[in-house]
Amino acid sequence: MKTNPRIIALRTESVSPQHCSAQLRHEILSRARYFEDLSSAQLDQVSQRFREVHHPADSTICHEGGQAQRLFFVAHGKVKLLRHSAGGEDVVLDILPQGALFGGLAPLGTQRYPETAMAQTDCCVLEISGADFQQLLEDHPAVTLAVLRSVARSLDDAREIIRQLTTSTVRTRVAVALVKLAERLGDTTDQGILIRAPLSRQDLAAMVGATPETVSRVMADLKRDGLIDTGRQWVRVVNPQGLQAINA
């Protein structure tokens, strides 16, 4: 299974959640889609505009609907994105690994945070304010061009999500979600790709736009077909190729 180059594992064995080394900051920002075209010296200038903030597990980093004033990168640990459902419960929409981007800023077209971000584990997060990011756009034309490309990709992603919701079966959407989670969070084992995450059926249902009951039936079918195995707070992709073939 392919590994997303923007969220690959970095050398963090000696990194504590309370501190992100200069080297780690540099590596994370160099993989960010906004800064991938910058030189090493330019990345050092960019890094100086970010500050590192420690968030203990289960603490809130930003609130859904709050004014979007910060852009964040996960430097160490995992962050989960939540949205308040019509039923009054918070459902998990995504779990972000090291190097992932979240939050939002007005220069990027985001006025309000679309989700609540919460530290799933102890986290070190790199954050930048709107004023500092605006200065980066003025200082580095390459960043401005990268932002425009990113906005265009986001529009394409939004169209693809709408297409899947209107034309794909729930089985296909669940398969796509599991493949993405495996790519981003999975650990390869002899039995398959293990996804350790506290995802309930309701959480997965929110991700794919279906009811929890329907998702439960689909997961049972996938397990019976030998494509996945499940347990408490984990899913193992036993047959990645078979799962990917559902969306072929």
* Domain annotation for the chain: domains and CATH numbers: 5-165 (2.60.120.10), 169-245 (1.10.10.10)
pLDDT at residue 12 above 60? no
pLDDT above 80 for 240: yes
The percent of residues above 70 in pLDDT, for the chain, comes to 83
The pLDDT of residue 151: 66
- Check whether 3 has a pLDDT greater than 50: no
Q: Which of 55-59, 143-147, 181-185 has the highest mean pLDDT?
A: 55-59
Mean confidence (pLDDT) of the chain: 81
* Cβ-proximal residues to 122 (8 Å cutoff; 6+ apart), any chain: 17, 54, 55, 56, 57, 76, 77
Q: What tens digit of pLDDT does each residue of 146-155 get? A: 887 776 666 5
Residue 31: name the closest of 19, 16, 46 by CA.
46
Query: What average pLDDT score do residues 162-176 get?
Result: 77
- Looking at residue 70, its pLDDT comes to 92
Distances (CA, A) of 130 to 64, 91, 108, 143: 18, 28, 9, 14
Q: What is the pLDDT of residue 156?
A: 59
Express as a percent the part of the chain with pLDDT over 90.
23
Residue 229's SS3 state is strand
What global pTM score does this model have? 0.67
Quote the pLDDT of residue 121: 86
Question: Does 96 have pLDDT greater than 50?
Answer: yes
Which residue, among 158, 173, 246, 154, has the nearest Cα to 215 in the 3D structure? Answer: 173
Q: Is the pLDDT assigned to residue 110 strictly greater than 90?
A: no
